[in-house]
Amino acid sequence: MRKLSIDEGVKAVRLARRAIEIYLSEGRVVDDRLRGVFEEMRGVFTTLTKHGELRGCIGFPYPIKRLDEAIIESAISATQDPRFHPVELDEMDEIVVEVTVLTPPERLNVKPKDLPKHIEIGRHGLMVRYGLNSGLLLPQVAVEYNMDSEEFLSQTCLKAGLPPDCWFYSEVYVFEGQIFKEVKPRGEVVEVELEGAKNCHR
């Protein structure tokens, strides 16, 4: 699965912002369709931050929609993230839009005690599933909060509404993400390269 070019990343972020602003101003979902990689089925998350604080993050872990459709739907949904009050149109002047395009999640079929050794901080995102519960954290979360692989596993469990040690008896999946983000609201779009890889555990 090839990576997006910077030009495609710019289009992705611009599409997300356009989808949000038209939805918030006109109450309609844009029907923009782009060519090339945007016709492919890809997983994607849209993240909104305001003054550096999370304002919404919603997406599709699996490649079940065309990338352009998934971007539009995840962007609009991020404005309605149930963890926060709905985003209003006038906030968009202060909100940075970020789009993360995902590789398909792959299950780690290793002994639970060995899971931390197979997770590379700065490269992998995590998804934990147990019964009807599931939780996902994007690769950038572990880097932003300086987590090691065990803490990353525990925080993903908590995101799923499960005990922090649930990774010993749950399905654990890894995926990678290509991140494109506005430098400032409505500003230049750059590709974010994650640093600080720590694949050892405490």
Q: pTM to 2 decimals?
A: 0.93
Beta-sheet pairing, 95-102 with 43-50: antiparallel
List of residues 6+ apart from 94 with CB closer than 8 A: 50, 51, 185
Position 200 scores a pLDDT of 35
Cβ proximity of 121 and 151 under 8 Å: no
Question: What pLDDT sits at residue 1?
Answer: 79
Domains of the chain and any CATH numbers = 6-103+177-192 (3.30.700.20), 106-175 (3.30.1490.150)
Per-position pLDDT tens, the chain of length 202: 789 999 999 999 999 999 999 999 999 999 999 999 999 999 999 999 999 999 999 999 999 999 999 999 999 999 999 999 999 999 999 999 999 999 999 999 999 999 999 999 999 999 999 999 999 999 999 999 999 999 999 999 999 999 999 999 999 999 999 999 999 999 999 999 997 544 433 3
Cβ neighbors of 64 (< 8 A, separation 6 or more) are: 41, 43, 70
Assigned token pair, 111: 């002994």
Q: Give pLDDT, residue 196.
A: 58
Residue 202: the pLDDT is: 32
d(CA 97, CA 2): 23
Element (H, E) at 46: strand 43-50
